[in-house]
Amino acid sequence: MSELTYETVRDWVISDPLNDGIMSVSTIKRRFRIAHGRAEAFMRRLIADGIVSAAGNPRTILKTNK
């Protein structure tokens, strides 16, 4: 199995997979079957890169491929 990268998660989030414009740590965790801490680290980077909002739960996806 290949190692999950931030770029893989980022591309998936940007595609707005649920078509509702929101994303949460739990959604990332379930989709990639990873531990909460790792999903949280990915979310922190998504926030820092301006892909998802810093406030709210779930967070708003700010950048999409649409």
Average of per-residue pLDDT across 29-33: 96
- Residue 23 falls within a domain, yes or no? yes
Rounded CA separation 15/65 (Å):
6
What is the domain count for the chain? 1
Mean of all residue pLDDT scores within the chain? 93
Residue 17 CB: number of other CB atoms within 10 A? 12
Report the range of poorest mean pLDDT among 1-5, 29-33, 44-48: 1-5
Range of the domain at 43: 6-60
Quick check: 44 pLDDT over 80?
yes
- Residue 15 falls within a domain, yes or no? yes
- Residue 66 falls within a domain, yes or no? no
- Residue 65 falls within a domain, yes or no? no
Q: Which pTM value belongs to this model? A: 0.90
Average of per-residue pLDDT across 7-11: 97
- Residue 48 falls within a domain, yes or no? yes
Give the N- to C-terminal CA distance of the chain in Å, as an integer.
30
* 65 vs 32, higher pLDDT: 32
**Predicted local distance difference test score (pLDDT) of residue 1:** 47
The CATH number linked to 29 is 1.10.10
Rounded CA separation 41/5 (Å):
11
- Residue 40 falls within a domain, yes or no? yes
Pick from 15, 11, 32, 27: nearest CA to 59 = 27
